[in-house]
């Protein structure tokens, strides 16, 4: 059905595809990298959007999952390069799809551990506890010297995908773009499913959900873990894009940025994270070119959006969201 | 030797705890009365430190700088409350987090704009320079002892303010029922501004005191802010008593963990790895403590009775 929102979504998706294709034709690889960044950040925020937008779980610690995904890519690639065994005789790989599976699994496991404790709380407690757990992972990465500590870890050669030259910027963009579309599709399927309905209901009225015989805790935990897995996958892609991973991927600024992407785009909206990521990277690039104080103006814009434009970009372009 | 060193570390832990209390008290007061989560509290800490360093450099007096830090942080707090925070009381926590996150970006970048990227230095006042002997033969800086004393004094003053004065009575009333005290004719908007400025002044005071033993730089407030969050979550959000005990617990656990864990690890693993593993666990220790406490008591050690 071609509603106004679907039209805007279609334009966003095609627009993200058109920019790198045009940049490739014009010989401007920098813009391809920029578009890849948008796709990966949008995927990370789509993961968070499942917890935050659908489930109402304001996680201020999703950088932990983003960074864990990144470190999986970095560490597995480093072991593959050096030949040192990692665990159980496995000495790393440079195959992206194996890295993705490991990143998703590890992010899910850590998400489960964090979720089991954090979801016992709610409201401000939940915000601060997720923040504190992410800081715990951050300080662990900083103080563990084996994988670069504070300096981070370089990935010397971008990991491989069967039949694709991943070092060609456009190819890598297309990999990330397809994964983003799959991630958004998964988000849509989950949101429309019985599980998604229960997760939204748990946000709107916990008591009623419990009354009809569904345990809100389990539904939320499932949502939180799935959310962590998607964000972890985005982290692995991000590390391969930059061929570098450092504790800054785990920092609380990263967690804040992911929330900002969602709000800029429109909370709980299917394409909100993509709209937000595109807007954010465009701000960063445009303001960064004009003034080195761009963060000040980013803060100002964000403040104005929160105070006066509550629906985000999609709220402006596509009207109010159908669900409250 | 080890006993003296342990005593020294214990005092360092107390000093950290006292500073954390100054931060956490403001945060928990603001949350308790207005229901607001304020990420920009670390920026007010930074404002206090910069004001103290700048005014101390102009006048040559740390004490005038200290007064300036209180005034500057309280003024910054009041202005921020009037212009931005006031619009956030009715919003959900997500909006509050984002708006105050935006304020952090603006404060940090604005300070870098005004003062440049290089850290400022603040000297310890002559009166408090030097060291005193500790039992066991080591020496301990007087200034750090003074920080502990100042923090204890502020904690006592805050207790007296809240339990014995009219303003304190209104703050307590605001914590238990906002609408009701508004209906009883208390100017609730002014009360909110005063509470926010009070919290800001406490943060600014902490920033100025710590500024003399660390460098004064942009971003100095963020690690402290996150520790202060851990403190109020452990203590129970909204509880001043919880903030005090939580702050001391976090301060001492963090410092002693960094001191003892690498030594403890020597018992289990070779020396080459003991430092690394011990250090890594020590850096996560307070978060582990927090997780354990919350697994047992999800609302902290001293949850406020209402809400």
Q: What are the pLDDT digits (tens) for A44-99?
A: 999 999 999 899 999 999 999 999 999 999 988 887 777 777 776 666 778 888 89
Kindly state the average pLDDT of the residues A272-299. Answer: 86
Contact across the interface for B102 and A124, Cβ inside 8 Å: no
Residue A317 has pLDDT above 90, yes or no: no
Q: Name the more confident of A11 and A43.
A: A43
User: Based on the number of CB atoms within 10 Å of its own CB, is B133 exposed (0-12), middle (13-18) or buried (19 or more)?
Assistant: exposed
B229 touches chain A (CB under 8 A): yes
Extended strands (E) in B85-207: 131-133, 139-141
Kindly state the average pLDDT of the residues B91-112. Answer: 90
Kindly state the average pLDDT of the residues B297-301. Answer: 83
- Cα dist. B129→B50, B60, B147 in Å? 21, 15, 12
Q: Name the more confident of A115 and A323.
A: A115
> What is the band of B261 on the pLDDT scale with cuts at 50, 70, 90?
confident
Contact across the interface for A299 and B93, Cβ inside 8 Å: no
For residue A59, the chain B residue with the least C-alpha distance is B94
Query: What pLDDT does A322 receive?
Result: 53
Query: What pLDDT does A297 receive?
Result: 87
pLDDT in tens, B115-137: 888 888 888 888 888 888 777 77
Contact across the interface for A302 and B237, Cβ inside 8 Å: no
Query: What pLDDT does B60 receive?
Result: 87
**Residue ranges covered by each domain of chain B:** 2-218
Query: What pLDDT does A147 receive?
Result: 81
Which residues in chain B touch residue A130, judged by CB atoms under 8 angstroms apart? Answer: none
Residue A320 has pLDDT above 70, yes or no: no
Q: To the nearest whole angstrom, how far is the Cα of B291 from the nearest Cα of chain A?
A: 7
Kindly state the average pLDDT of the residues B3-21. Answer: 89
Q: What percent of chain B has pLDDT over 90?
A: 35
Query: What pLDDT does A43 receive?
Result: 96
pLDDT in tens, B198-256: 999 999 999 999 988 888 888 888 888 989 989 998 998 888 888 999 999 999 999 98
Which residues in chain A touch residue B101, judged by CB atoms under 8 angstroms apart? Answer: 256, 259-260, 302
Q: To the nearest whole angstrom, how far is the Cα of A228 from the nearest Cα of chain B?
A: 19
> What is the band of A117 on the pLDDT scale with cuts at 50, 70, 90?
confident
Query: What pLDDT does A2 receive?
Result: 64
- Cα dist. A267→A122, A308, B188 in Å? 19, 15, 32
> What is the band of B180 on the pLDDT scale with cuts at 50, 70, 90?
confident
Q: Which of B98, B237, B278, B295 to mutate to test the interface with A (most CBs of A within 10 A)?
A: B98
Q: To the nearest whole angstrom, how far is the Cα of B70 from the nearest Cα of chain A?
A: 25
pLDDT in tens, B31-81: 888 888 899 999 999 999 999 999 998 898 889 999 999 999 999 999 999
Q: What is the mean pLDDT of chain B?
A: 87
The answer to which of A163-172, A256-265, B225-234 has the lowest mean pLDDT is: A163-172
CA dist B196 and A140 (Å) reads 34
ipTM of the complex: 0.84
Query: What pLDDT does A34 receive?
Result: 92
CA dist A137 and A228 (Å) reads 14
Q: Which of B23, B221, B284, B296 to mutate to test the interface with A (most CBs of A within 10 A)?
A: B284
Query: What pLDDT does B266 receive?
Result: 79
Query: What pLDDT does A324 receive?
Result: 43
Q: Which of B233, B276, B279 sits opposite A128 (nearest CB)?
A: B233
Q: What is the mean pLDDT of chain A?
A: 87
Q: Which of B229, B279, B285 to mutate to test the interface with A (most CBs of A within 10 A)?
A: B229
Look up tokens 């509470």; give the residue.
B195
Which residues in chain A touch residue B291, judged by CB atoms under 8 angstroms apart? Answer: 117, 129, 133
pLDDT in tens, A238-255: 999 998 999 999 999 899
Residue (of B273, B283, B209) closest to A135 by Cα position: B283
Kindly state the average pLDDT of the residues B181-189. Answer: 84
Quick one: tokens of B9? 């570390």
B181 touches chain A (CB under 8 A): no
Q: Which of B101, B109, B283 sits opposite A140 (nearest CB)?
A: B283
pLDDT in tens, A126-149: 888 898 899 889 988 988 877 877
CA dist A39 and B176 (Å) reads 47
Residue A282 has pLDDT above 60, yes or no: yes
Query: What pLDDT does B1 receive?
Result: 53
pTM given for the model: 0.88
Pairing of strands B131-133, A244-245: unpaired
Q: To the nearest whole angstrom, how far is the Cα of A135 from the nearest Cα of chain B?
A: 8
**Residue ranges covered by each domain of chain A:** 4-318
pLDDT in tens, A178-223: 999 999 999 999 999 999 999 999 888 888 888 888 889 999 999 9
Kindly state the average pLDDT of the residues B266-279. Answer: 76
Query: What pLDDT does A188 receive?
Result: 93
Query: What pLDDT does B306 receive?
Result: 54
Max Cα distance, chain A (Å): 60
Query: What pLDDT does B307 receive?
Result: 47
Quick one: tokens of B65? 């700088």
Q: Name the more confident of A118 and B270.
A: A118
For residue A128, the chain B residue with the least C-alpha distance is B229
Q: What percent of chain A has pLDDT over 90?
A: 41
- Cα dist. B88→A9, A261, B97, B202, B289 in Å? 31, 20, 10, 22, 32
Q: To the nearest whole angstrom, how far is the Cα of A131 from the nearest Cα of chain B?
A: 8
Residue B305 has pLDDT above 70, yes or no: no
Residue range A4-318, CATH number: 1.10.3470
């Amino acid at each position: 059905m071609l509603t106004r929102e679907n039209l805007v979504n279609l334009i966003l998706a095609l627009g993200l595809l058109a920019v790198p294709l045009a940049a490739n034709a014009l010989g401007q690889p920098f813009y391809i990298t920029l578009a890849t960044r948008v796709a990966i950040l949008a995927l990370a925020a789509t993961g968070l959007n499942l917890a935050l937008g659908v489930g109402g779980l304001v996680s201020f610690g999703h950088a932990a999952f983003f960074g864990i995904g990144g470190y999986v890519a970095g560490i597995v690639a480093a072991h593959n390069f050096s030949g040192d065994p990692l665990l159980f005789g496995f000495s790393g790989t440079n195959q992206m799809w194996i890295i993705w599976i490991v990143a998703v699994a590890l992010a899910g496991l850590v998400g489960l551990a964090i979720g089991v404790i954090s979801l016992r709380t709610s409201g401000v407690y939940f915000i601060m506890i997720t923040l504190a757990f992410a800081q715990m992972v951050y300080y662990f990465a900083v103080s563990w010297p084996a994988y670069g500590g504070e300096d981070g870890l370089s990935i010397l050669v971008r990991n491989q995908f069967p039949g694709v030259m991943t070092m060609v910027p456009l190819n890598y963009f297309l990999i990330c773009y397809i994964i983003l579309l799959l991630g958004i599709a998964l988000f849509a399927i989950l949101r429309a499913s019985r599980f998604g309905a229960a997760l939204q209901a748990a946000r709107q009225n916990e008591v009623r959900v419990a009354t009809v015989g569904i345990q809100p805790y389990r539904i939320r935990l499932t949502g939180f873990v799935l959310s962590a897995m998607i964000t972890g996958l985005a982290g692995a892609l991000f590390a391969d894009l930059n061929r570098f991973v450092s504790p800054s991927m785990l920092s609380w600024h990263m967690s804040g940025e992911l929330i900002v992407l969602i709000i800029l785009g429109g909370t709980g909206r299917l394409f909100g994270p993509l709209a937000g990521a595109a807007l954010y990277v465009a701000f960063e690039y445009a303001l960064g070119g004009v003034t080195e104080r761009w963060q000040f103006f980013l803060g100002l814009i964000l403040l104005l959006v929160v105070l006066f434009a509550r629906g985000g970009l999609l709220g402006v372009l596509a009207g109010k969201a159908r669900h409250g | 030797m080890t006993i003296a060193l342990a005593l020294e570390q214990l005092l360092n832990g107390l000093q950290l705890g006292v500073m954390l209390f100054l931060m956490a008290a403001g945060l928990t007061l603001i949350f308790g009365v207005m229901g607001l989560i304020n990420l920009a509290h670390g920026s007010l800490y930074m404002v206090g430190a910069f004001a103290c360093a700048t005014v101390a450099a102009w006048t040559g007096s740390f004490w005038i700088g200290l007064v300036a830090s209180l005034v500057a942080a309280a003024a910054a707090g009041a202005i921020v409350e009037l212009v931005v925070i006031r619009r956030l009381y009715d919003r959900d926590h997500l909006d509050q987090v984002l708006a105050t996150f935006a304020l952090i970006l603006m404060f940090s970048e604005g300070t870098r704009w005004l003062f440049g990227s290089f850290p400022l230095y603040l000297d310890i006042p002559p009166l408090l320079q030097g060291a005193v002997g500790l039992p066991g033969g080591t020496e301990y800086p007087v200034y750090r002892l003074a920080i502990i004393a100042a923090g204890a004094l502020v904690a006592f003053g805050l207790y007296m303010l809240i339990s014995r004065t009219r303003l304190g009575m209104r703050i307590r009333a605001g914590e238990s029922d906002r609408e009701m005290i508004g209906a009883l004719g208390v100017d609730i908007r002014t009360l909110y501004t005063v509470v926010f400025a009070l919290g800001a002044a406490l943060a600014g005071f902490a920033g100025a005191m710590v500024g003399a033993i660390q460098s004064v730089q942009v971003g100095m407030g963020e690690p402290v802010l996150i520790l202060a969050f851990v403190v109020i979550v452990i203590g129970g959000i909204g509880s001043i008593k919880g903030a005090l005990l939580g702050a001391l617990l976090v301060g001492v656990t963090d410092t002693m963990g960094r001191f003892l864990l690498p030594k403890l690890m020597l018992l289990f693993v070779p020396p080459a790895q003991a430092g690394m593993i011990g250090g890594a666990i020590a850096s996560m220790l307070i978060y582990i403590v927090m997780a354990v406490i919350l697994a047992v008591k999800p609302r902290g050690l001293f949850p406020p009775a209402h809400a």
